[in-house]
Amino acid sequence: MIVAIDGPSASGKGTLARRIAEHFGYAHLDTGKIYRAIGRAVVRAGGDPADPAAALEAATALDPASLDDPALGGDEAARAASQVALMQPVRDQVLDFQRQFAERPPGGAEGAVLDGRDIGTVVCPAAHVKLFVTASDEVRAERRHKELLERGEAPIYARVLQEMRERDARDTKRDVAPLRPAEDAFVLDTSDLDADAAFAAALEFIEAR
């Protein structure tokens, strides 16, 4: 059983993916962390995340154990992630890892939940369930702002909104694996839903399948 969840940043897809995985006892992979880890590795080595050679080198050297680093949740990693994610060779490099996780989930789990931008369209086009989670720009920026405050950062709302829109534009307008709902995805707008209500709506859809 493969559940593919896509959507823009702070749409609630990560929380939803974790809860679905927990509910069914499936393994969960946050694929954004892969691109964040690659972007951050380039920056930490003093490189430019827009440099294709540096990005590919970091993608090739990626250690899955580094995906647990809490620093990946920060804005610097997010920005660098959306730059390395524009490059087809980088995406090709991490495709196998994602597909293997989906097809042979770790720990002998009977299913996998993957969340990202291109799971239902590119990574797992044959997923049994596809969800596209979205919310208004303002609601997403508020959530992101709160998340950054909780991380101990000092975010400015207007800046969070602007950076989020820039990152969304890079993700939706890029030529390779752009962010868009798969044709057979259930679109879930969480603008007016809390995490419990979003989970209930997703569960209803999954069970109906």
Q: Which residues pair with 189 in a beta bridge?
A: 134
Residue 136 dihedral angles phi and psi, to the nearest 5° = -65, 155
Instruction: Please report, as residue ranges, which positions from 93 to 152 form the binding site for ligand C5P (by CB under 6 A).
Output: 116-119
Residue 78 dihedral angles phi and psi, to the nearest 5° = -65, -45
Q: What is the closest distance, in whole angstroms, from the C-beta atom of residue 208 to ligand C5P in the complex?
A: 26
Among 3, 12, 20, 36, which residue sits at the site for ligand C5P (rule: CB under 6 A)?
36
| Interaction between residue 32 and ligand C5P (CB under 6 A) | yes
Among 31, 93, 121, 190, which residue sits at the site for ligand C5P (rule: CB under 6 A)?
31
The rounded distance, in Å, linking the Cα atoms of 61 and 63 is 6
Q: Which residues contact 96 (CB under 8 A, 6 or more apart)?
A: none
Q: What is the closest distance, in whole angstroms, from the C-beta atom of residue 72 to ligand C5P in the complex?
A: 8
Structure tokens that stand for 165 in this block: 């829109």
Residue nearer to ligand C5P on the CB measure, 25 or 159 = 159
The rounded distance, in Å, linking the Cα atoms of 56 and 52 is 6
| Chain residues in the site for ligand C5P (CB under 6 A) | 9, 31-32, 35-36, 78, 81-82, 85, 116-119, 167, 171
